[in-house]
Structure 1
């Protein structure tokens, strides 16, 4: 068994903090840029999209919160990042379904392709990890 300088709780807290920070940066970067480019008056879709995006992020956060730390940083990282990546796929799909901007539509397609590839890699790693632990 590896000795890690951080407790299981501290590692889990650190991983979740990094994921939340990444989401915050990626989630708020586009609206801030759009607002700046529009002279401070970015057009906001007044439909369900903000609520849907928020619900998607809350679902992802609930899934991450339900994960019990295993004490193995590699495994915990793979499980948490898989959830995070699925959240990105879900949000990108909302952009494809409801968005209008061609540049963001193209980005959403790229995000879905890249994140699905990485989800498959995480799934494969997790499966191998579980087989080795038996």
Structure 2
């Protein structure tokens, strides 16, 4: 596996691992990922360093989404590796929000449903504001 693919895989594994940790106040205990959102046949093809859909053709929007997720995972992993828990959280969230913007931009480019496109636009606007706030915090607090 090349370095980028390895780090993306580790970031995904770390995200899954952290999500699986028990917590009384965790959103995990009150929220569940919708079954209708899960795909069958998707897996990591370790010999190719990329996502494989069980031999199915990957669409342009799926490729664009996966490219955005690779960038997000790399940046999130870098942020989460900071020695200070507060810095780690904020830097990881900046990357997470950038991923949400990337996904929303893919929806605006490829989506057909007007309601979904409106959600995407609202996400972009909200996440950009929060990224600005968090970036200011990083500039002020991180030495």
- Structure 1 segments unaligned to the other structure (5+ residues): 1-12, 23-27, 36-45
Partner of 1:39: none
Q: Per-residue deviation at 1:51?
A: 1.6
Q: How does 1:72-111 map to 2 (within 5 A)?
A: 72-111=84-123
Structure 1 residue ranges, 4+ long, deviating more than 4 angstroms after superposition: 13-16
| Whole-Å separation in 2 of the counterparts to 1:16 and 1:118 | 25
Q: 1:32 aligns with which of 15, 36, 44?
A: 36
Partner of 1:61: 73
| Whole-Å separation in 1 of the counterparts to 2:118 and 2:107 | 10
Q: Which one has the largest radius of gyration? A: 1
The question of whether the paired residues in 1 share the 8 Å contact of 2:79 and 2:89 is answered with no
Q: Per-residue deviation at 1:64?
A: 2.0
- Structure 2 segments unaligned to the other structure (5+ residues): 1-13, 20-26, 28-32, 40-57
Instruction: Rate the CA distance shift 1:78–1:15 in 2: closer, same or farther, 3 A.
Output: farther
**TM-score of the superposition, structure 2-length normalised?**
0.59
| Whole-Å separation in 2 of the counterparts to 1:101 and 1:15 | 30
Q: Per-residue deviation at 1:70?
A: 2.8
Relative to its length, the structure with more helix (as a share) is: 1
Partner of 1:115: 127
Partner of 1:17: 18
Q: Per-residue deviation at 1:16?
A: 7.4
Larger RCO of the pair (alpha carbons < 8 Å, separation 6+): 1
The question of whether the paired residues in 2 share the 8 Å contact of 1:64 and 1:80 is answered with yes
Relative to its length, the structure with more strand (as a share) is: 2
The question of whether the paired residues in 2 share the 8 Å contact of 1:92 and 1:109 is answered with yes
